[in-house]
Amino acid sequence: MSGFDVAALRREFPILVPGLHYLDNAATAQTPRAVLDALIAHETTHRANVLRGVYRLAEEATAAYHAARVELAGYVNARDPNEVVFTSGTTGAINLVAHGFGAALKPGDEIVISVLEHHSNIVPWQLLRDRAGVVLKALPVTLDGRIELAELPRLIGPRTRLVAVTHASNVTGAVTDVATVVAAARSVGAPVLLDGAQMAPHGPLDVQALGVDFYAFSGHKMFAPNGVGVLWGRAEVLAAMAPFQGGGEMIRRVTLARTEYADPPHRFEAGTPPIAQAVALAAAARWVRGLPAEAVHAHLRRLTERLLDGLAARGRVRVIGPTGLQGRLATVSFAVARVHPHDVCQILDARGVALRGGHHCAQPLMDALDLAGTARASLAPYNDDGDIDAFFAGLDDVLRRFP
Amino acid sequence: MSDDLYQAAILDLARQGAAATRLPHADATATVDNPLCGDRTTVDVTLAGGRIANIGYKTRGCALCQAAAALLATTAIGLDAPAIAVGTAAVTASLQDKGPDPMSPWEGFGIFTPVRRHPSRRSCVLLPFEALAKAFTAASAV
């Protein structure tokens, strides 16, 4: 049994009409009514710019924006809300670090990433390499789609200035053993950035316990609107970083000769921030925290097991990633012999099953696995057995139509 | 004409496309990637008098891309660069919503008109055209 009322949970999501089997949550999760209500309430009663106006609406908007920062700080267990920087998303957060933290790096300094990364945690470092002369190294991937941590001692050395890896893969679902990464990085004094885009929706985090220095995640993957995300950064690391973008809100004093920058987090929030989105993201964080965590975990684990077992039972189908339930999220990629993932997804779409196919913005991983792409089912708490039934009915149709 | 994206005619062509081989002595080769899905097609050409004499190709792609490559490899034989450009434009237009059906010698691409309802899949059909144009240009420059 699921242990909680999935049907009731589904009713919180207006978009989940009968006949839609939404299994692309790793790309964008759907938004519950509580979050939509918070968004509309803010925009209809408190909408104004923040941090400048003295009129009532502006004060209310500023208070709501600050409250959102406090909520997100609690969600990641930050020591101080000022360690939470609102960004446009995970991509914006990592680019911020690549510029702000990267500004202090020198030619020959090294950054360690992995083959498992989303392009968002590869390309910003390549751009930094190209403009600053740093060296980019990549941890390889194991056959079951995990970062090959045994290679850490070989790749991390005295010139390592940052280790930037995913907390959980958007392709294989593999969860990274963060403690091992942090220990290796700490041995050479290097900070650690985690791409938490996939992990953050699965419940509150503890950045202090993780022992990392940066944590990036997106609103749209954790039941909030598009256009907002979070960079959490350790206070002393943020304080030492240069600004990324220049503009309003991020300054203390501007003259034509020079500018004195604001302290974090405002130093990194140039221009009008995504205020209503941040308020809605805070509502999403509250919503996630309100879920019965253990029951949701058991529910997703059971559905993931159904996926893994069902895929394994079909001879032409191969799971790309961990085949067991340990150390993985409810994100399952697979390849079907002689059928392209987009063809798989197209045929399932005709049955109302929303599935993602392609390289998932992880082309180096696809190259390493010698695949053009995979099809991927990624679950959220509102998925149910009917979704899994529809998925397998569609997959069997694929296998019939592409003998 | 079937409204089914995965009609038998397309799947038959896709099987031909999957079994295709490269040319051993091409005048030029071009490889293009579809950034949407990571599909890749490599097209080899030999020219004779400014017209396509032979086409070889290898496609790592979906059924639509494979089928389009197979059909293009036969349709384009004997055509010159302007004719290829006209055909590319005609097939591109035929994939748009309410687009015109392609005319001879491109009428075979009419099997792809169900793609009109799936805009994200149009680039699958057009990827081999892009590769062929690049290969043709490269061969003409030799």
Q: Does the beta-carbon distance from B121 to A358 stay under 8 Å?
A: no
Tokens representing residue A251 in the block: 């300054």
CB A215 within 8 A of CB A205: yes
Q: Give the pLDDT band of residue A26 (cuts 50, 70, 90).
A: very high
Mean pLDDT of the region A33-62: 96
Quick one: closest CA in A to B64, which residue?
A343
What is the residue-averaged pLDDT of chain A?
96
Tokens representing residue A216 in the block: 């990036």
At B2 the pLDDT is 63
Give the pLDDT confidence of A187-235 residue by residue, as tens digits.
999 999 999 999 999 999 999 999 999 999 999 999 999 999 999 999 9
What are the residue boundaries of the structural domains of chain A, listed by start?
Answer: 6-30+292-401, 35-289
Counting as low any pLDDT under 70, the low residues of chain B are 1-3
Of A343, A363, A366, the CB nearest to B62: A343
Query: Measured between alpha carbons, how far is residue A182 from residues A80, A168, A197, A207, A260 in Å?
Result: 21, 15, 19, 12, 34
Of A340, A358, A402, the CB nearest to B36: A358
Query: Does the beta carbon of B40 lie under 8 angstroms from any beta carbon of chain A?
Result: yes
At A1 the pLDDT is 45
Helix/strand/coil for A253? strand
At B35 the pLDDT is 84
Q: How many angstroms separate the CA atoms of A102 and A80, rounded?
A: 23
CB A49 within 8 A of CB A269: no
Of B37, B63, B121, the CB nearest to A373: B37
Pick the more confident residue, A62 or B2. A62
Nearest to A86 by CA among A347, A284, A266: A266
The contact set of A with B (CB < 8 A) is: 338-343, 346-347, 357-359, 363, 366, 372-373, 401-402
Mean pLDDT of the region A36-53: 96
Q: Does the beta-carbon distance from A346 to B124 stay under 8 Å?
A: no
Q: Does the beta-carbon distance from A372 to B11 stay under 8 Å?
A: no
Q: Which of B13, B39, B62, B65 to mutate to test the interface with A (most CBs of A within 10 A)?
A: B62
Pick the more confident residue, A2 or A167. A167
- Report which secondary-structure segment, H or E, holds A21: strand A21-22
Class of domain A35-289: alpha beta
Class of domain A6-30+292-401: alpha beta
At A27 the pLDDT is 98
- Does the annotation mark A361 as catalytic? yes
Looking at chain A, the whole-number percentage of residues with pLDDT higher than 70 is 99
Q: Does the beta-carbon distance from B5 to A401 stay under 8 Å?
A: no
Q: Does the beta-carbon distance from A372 to B38 stay under 8 Å?
A: yes
- In terms of CATH architecture, what is B8-141? Alpha-Beta Complex (3.90)
At B95 the pLDDT is 96
At A2 the pLDDT is 47
CB A334 within 8 A of CB A311: yes
